[in-house]
Structure 1
């Protein structure tokens, strides 16, 4: 089974029921936002349509070319490797700072201090 990295883009490969009774369809795109037990499970932010707020403050369907549009989060849910498939690595979708933050989150205190010491030499 494939192991995923923090911020990798994935998609669902089965219908996912939500606690509110809604369902997440197959091929819904998401991003890994947390890794549990060395990849036994993943917290995934799943995305829906492009949306924006209208003048009344209501959320309406929009388009990616609208300056006020954003992609709606439909769920942040724990999923298992057999429920998702790999789409794109984090390095292609997030900046270097986000990648570093993801790596730092996995390091021990000792290694964090080594990284800090090294980074200070780069100033």
Structure 2
């Protein structure tokens, strides 16, 4: 099983090179956007500072409290488990139901059917407990 899950918030624990030739330093914040080979590696969207877009489309530094501010993406890179530290799980940030929906979106129809069968089993079990 994978150490990190889709949409987990993570920090780098070591510097990694970016595709544009720059370096993302330790403590760079990111989010898992794809799990590769059952967790052997991850695609991580890495974020820089807070910015906002000017009328002309250029980004200017901002604070997170400013209207329209967001964290600028500095790269989407392949990162290995030993290079990452969990900040907050997707389940904590999104809530369990939203996290389940995001997982279901990435499963085959066959696996979604298995999840559905298991959910039906749990519902029936819960109904039996309530009726006793």
**Please, what TM-score do these two structures have when normalized by structure 1?**
0.82
- The one-character-per-residue Cα deviations of 1:46-87 (angstroms, maximum 9, x if unpaired) are 111110112333210001111111111111111111111111
Runs of 4+ in 1 over 6 A off after TM superposition: none
User: Which residue is equivalent to 2:22?
Assistant: 22
**Alpha carbons of structure 1 residues 108 and 20: separation in structure 2 relative to 1, 3 Å:** closer
User: Which residue is equivalent to 1:82?
Assistant: 82
User: Which residue is equivalent to 1:65?
Assistant: 65
**Alpha carbons of structure 1 residues 115 and 3: separation in structure 2 relative to 1, 3 Å:** closer
User: Which residue is equivalent to 1:51?
Assistant: 51
Higher relative CO (CA 8 A, sep ≥ 6), structure 1 or 2?
1
Distance 2:24 2:72 in 1: 13
Structure 2: gaps of 5 or more residues? 124-132
Distance 1:39 1:102 in 2: 17
SS in 2 for 1:93: helix
Distance 1:89 1:44 in 2: 14
RMSD of the alignment, in Å?
2.3
Distance 1:103 1:14 in 2: 28
Structure 1: gaps of 5 or more residues? none
Aligned length in residues: 119
User: Which residue is equivalent to 2:130?
Assistant: none
SS in 2 for 1:30: strand
